[in-house]
Structure 1
Amino acid sequence: MAARPEGTPCWADAMFGDVEGAKRFYGAVLGWTFGESSSEFGNYTQAYANGKAVAAVVPPMPGAEGQSAWCLYLASPDAAATAGKIRDNGGRVLMEPMQVGDFGTMVLAQEPSGAVFGVWQAGVHEGFEATAVPGAYCWAEVFTREPEKADAFFSAVFPYRVRQLLHEDMDFRLFDLGEETVLGRMEMTDDFPPEVPSYVNVYFTVDDCDAAVAKATEHGGVLRFGPMSSPFGRFAALSDPQGALFSVIDVSTTEGEMPEISDVS
């Protein structure tokens, strides 16, 4: 597999105080199986959908205990250079470029409106082995209360073309690489509780959205929104028992016409 273009979502992981609980929950909801944990790398444990690596779970580093959250990594040919761009454009580097064995080099960062994300310069670990199939990553959106800050930042740090969804009820933008749309940005409205910070919402693919929601709530998850059908698929927003927010989507069940989109840059 060739290295992904700069700015492409390429991996997702989350820290959990109860890793075994997380494995049970996501195994039930998304059908994941798990590899052996690597004590050399902080008991990092990869998750698999039909034998393909699709995500990872890990216990928190000492001193980093807190709210569990999914972290989306964006591909970079040079993690150190991307860290410099992050700083130059008003973002914060939370973890300096760190080489992870021969797997690759990672950075953790925060964009100016507060959403945390990762940067991954691939070594032997090139990222997702499958996407947009049941159990695998499908899509992600930056949820922010300060869309102007997020838009300016992401289009400066990564080579995105920006387009606007023409919808009277929401402020939603799309970030493209060439002809491929790789990321969305949604303005958080007053529907979001004020204590919820800006974050990156990761979508995982499922065969049946309603069945996945039923499994999630049965295993201690909380339904936050939906299920709702859209031109892009039937989706729902959830939080797992440890508070990590994520969404599930059945891309085969669509409803309604695709909205119009206009170029911004």
Structure 2
Amino acid sequence: MTEQAETRRAPGTPCWVSLMVHGLGTTEDFYGALFGWEFAPGPEPFGPYVRALIDGKEVAGIGQLPPDHNLPMAWTTYFATDDADETAETIRGCGGTVAVGPLDAGSAGRVAICSDPVGAVFGIWQAAAHIGTRLTGVHGTPAWNELVTRDTSTVGKFYQSVFGHEPEAVVSADFDYLTLHVAGRPVAAVHGVGRALPHDRGAHWMTYFEVDDTDAAAELAADLGGRVLRPPHETANGRLAVVADPEGAIFTIVRSER
């Protein structure tokens, strides 16, 4: 189902995803071909930046890294807040780190880049002119955000304390999974994978993008210079595949159960 979001998100709700890369133009080509994105410039709090659009609606952002920055390529999940400065202080008080900001992104809003106590990077966004993702439920739009970590017990309480998330655990001896709710609605999750956590990545937020056909999208991603890291497979929430773009940023594509 298509959803147009024209109002500010409730605090603690994922509201935006963005990616910082070295080759902005080639990255636009990849995602434009894969998801049908078009691009518009700005805002530019960290340098050159474009907003990805579907039918003129903002769905994600891509920015250009300075040449001397050799950071791992990764999609970043941003959580809505009504007060970025207050939330940043709470993050510090709960054992997290505020690496950048809070700072103003022109008239768009106020932003900070943070990490939780296990090192997973995320952003906070205080909306002004830019409220975040304006379209969901169609090909090329963010569908879900999930923290992949060693176990849920070490970090679930952090997000509960910072954002007021209401956690709901899956009761299972062999599946460590915590769904995070805002006002009774599931908005994100924490997935404990134990020793399966990649050593070269550590704990990280994973962005899921909706696609019309998981198999076709995975094949296209490979044809465009990306890699398929986990082939398409059925899950309780739809057909998934894990892929990487040409610069190595990893994301999940999903055809959700509809």
Q: TM-score, normalised by structure 2?
A: 0.93
Matching residue of 1:136? 141
Matching residue of 1:145? 150
Matching residue of 2:106? 101
1:223 to 2:228 alignment: yes
Change (3 A) 1:98 1:185: same
Deviation at 1:166, TM superposition (A): 2.8
1:179 to 2:184 alignment: yes
Q: 2:19 aligns with which of 14, 22, 26?
A: 14
Matching residue of 1:155? 160
Instruction: Give per-residue Cα distances to partners, 1:108-134, cap 9 Å, x unaligned.
Output: 100001100000000000001102221
Matching residue of 1:211? 216
Deviation at 1:194, TM superposition (A): 1.8
Where 2:90 maps in the other structure, the secondary structure is: helix
Deviation at 1:170, TM superposition (A): 2.0
Where 1:21 maps in the other structure, the secondary structure is: helix
* Contact 2:45 2:105 (C-alpha < 8 Å) held by counterparts: no
**Aligned equivalents of 2:138, 2:160: Cα separation in 1:** 28
Matching residue of 1:189? 194
Change (3 A) 1:194 1:77: same
Aligned residues: CA RMSD: 1.7
Deviation at 1:34, TM superposition (A): 1.1
* Contact 2:51 2:58 (C-alpha < 8 Å) held by counterparts: yes
1:67 to 2:69 alignment: no
**Aligned equivalents of 1:223, 1:143: Cα separation in 2:** 18
Where 2:104 maps in the other structure, the secondary structure is: strand
Matching residue of 2:53? 48
1:81 to 2:91 alignment: no
Instruction: Give per-residue Cα distances to partners, 1:38-66, cap 9 Å, x unaligned.
Output: 66862110111222110011101465332
Unaligned runs of 5+ in 2: 1-5
* Contact 1:67 1:242 (C-alpha < 8 Å) held by counterparts: no
1:106-121 alignment runs, 5 A limit: 106-121=111-126
Deviation at 1:96, TM superposition (A): 2.1
* Contact 2:214 2:253 (C-alpha < 8 Å) held by counterparts: yes
